Amino acid sequence: MISAKIKEKLASGSAIRKMFEEGNRLKKIYGEDKVFDFSIGNPDLEPPKEVADALRELADNPTPGMHGYMSNSGYESTRAAIAEQRAAQSGLTIDAGAVCMTVGAACAMNDVLHSLLDDGDEVIVLAPFFMEYINYIENHNGKVIIVQTDDKFMPDFDAISKAITPRTKAVIINSPNNPSGVVYSSEQLTKLNELLKAQDHVIQVISDEPYIDLVYDGLTVPPVLKYIDNVVICFSWSKSLSLPGERIGYTLVSPNNADYEDLTGAIVLSNRILGSVNAPAIWQKVVEKSLNAKVDVANYEHRRNLLYSNIVDAGFEAVKPNGALYIFMKTPDGLSDTEFQDICAKYNLLLVPGASFKRTGYMRLAFCVSENTIKNSREAFAKIAEELRIKK
């Protein structure tokens, strides 16, 4: 009775559920801190003080209509504040009309893809990538075109160029990246812009930016608006303010976008008809009041350092991530990802094979787990390296 497509997705989803259940099973046997579960990427820091203060202020001083409908694009004042912030970062002039408040970045991406895609239109994604992109594209009858990045997980411009066809409507980028943690440079963004603008038709860049505030080593992420013209940003405060359960984010269409008028209108309409209608009212107000706040990024950086040391000190290889919440370590030579996963599981160490991000030969480890879990896992990494006779 249910649709054939969803039936297939339900069946394939059970692999992740199994891993989740295996983690819970092991935790019951060995205790929470003796199972090193790096499989789940939930931001675990509390929101900054500004968020709690803003929420309390709103709740303590209710005003008429504060929970009522507003425009489908969200409150004008919230959108203007975001436009101003992005204008200051990029040096562009940005109007509130460029912004549509959304139910997180996931709805933002669905709004954009629904606005862009005719049946069979192609969207290029750069592997490794967050697998939900496949669902988001297929929701709107699009075709997923996977292009691998290079061995540092950076865009391979030749490969992208070869993948472009007359049906290519968009390229999704995600920097800082889930799962690799890499951050694209301004040169790479410029090169992508040049490549796409040299084509016969407009190709949109969809910039998925939930991790943009989670960067380490003193880095700042180059503002995509400065380097790419035909771009739509999809942002969420899930990580920046640690509000993943509250579902608040936005889309922003570059003022330089060739389809600015059509796209801004289509996104607001999509936001309505896909069912969001608008982003939650109270959270629009909270983020407006917390626009310059951030979670304790140093805390994530500290845990990244600990986990990265565990991995490389044991003799394994990994590109050190500059951002996001993950390390994408190399699977040791001679082993398949699932073979390596099974060996790790013997030491209660749980990680996600690269196939889940369409890049085999790697495993994702999320470092948004307790510092103790990371510290306690150090021995497990060493023992696995010993079993596999990994050379330091």
Residue 107 binds to a copy of itself (criterion: CB under 8 A): yes
Residue 166 binds to a copy of itself (criterion: CB under 8 A): no
* 359 secondary structure, DSSP code: -
Nearer to a copy of itself, 149 or 358 (CB): 358
Which region among 57-65, 153-161, 183-191, 288-296 touches a copy of itself (by CB under 8 A)?
57-65
Query: Strand order in 99-102's β-sheet?
Result: 99-102, 249-253, 231-236, 204-208, 168-173, 122-127, 143-148
Q: Which of 81, 127, 145, 269 binds a copy of itself (CB under 8 A)?
A: 269
> How many CB atoms lie under 10 A from the CB of residue 169?
20
Alpha helices in the chain (DSSP H): 4-30, 49-60, 76-90, 104-116, 132-139, 157-163, 186-197, 224-227, 237-240, 260-273, 281-289, 297-313, 337-346, 371-387
> How many CB atoms lie under 10 A from the CB of residue 191?
16
Nearer to a copy of itself, 58 or 96 (CB): 58
Q: Is the dihedral of CA 124, 115, 139, 121 positive or negative?
A: negative
Residue 42 binds to a copy of itself (criterion: CB under 8 A): yes
Which region among 3-11, 91-99, 296-304, 354-362 touches a copy of itself (by CB under 8 A)?
3-11
What is the rounded distance in angstroms from the CA atom of residue 139 to the CA atom of residue 135? 6
Residue 120 binds to a copy of itself (criterion: CB under 8 A): no
Which region among 159-167, 218-226, 269-277, 346-354 touches a copy of itself (by CB under 8 A)?
269-277
Q: Look up residue 302 and give its two tokens.
A: 């500290």
Phi, psi (5° rounding) for residue 196?
Answer: -75, -35
Which residues inside 234-263 make contact with a copy of itself, applying CB under 8 A? 242-247, 258-259, 262-263
Q: Residues 63-102: x/- map of binding to a copy of itself (CB under 8 A)?
A: -x-xxxxx--------------------------------
Q: Residues 124-163: x/- map of binding to a copy of itself (CB under 8 A)?
A: --------x--xx--xxx----------------------
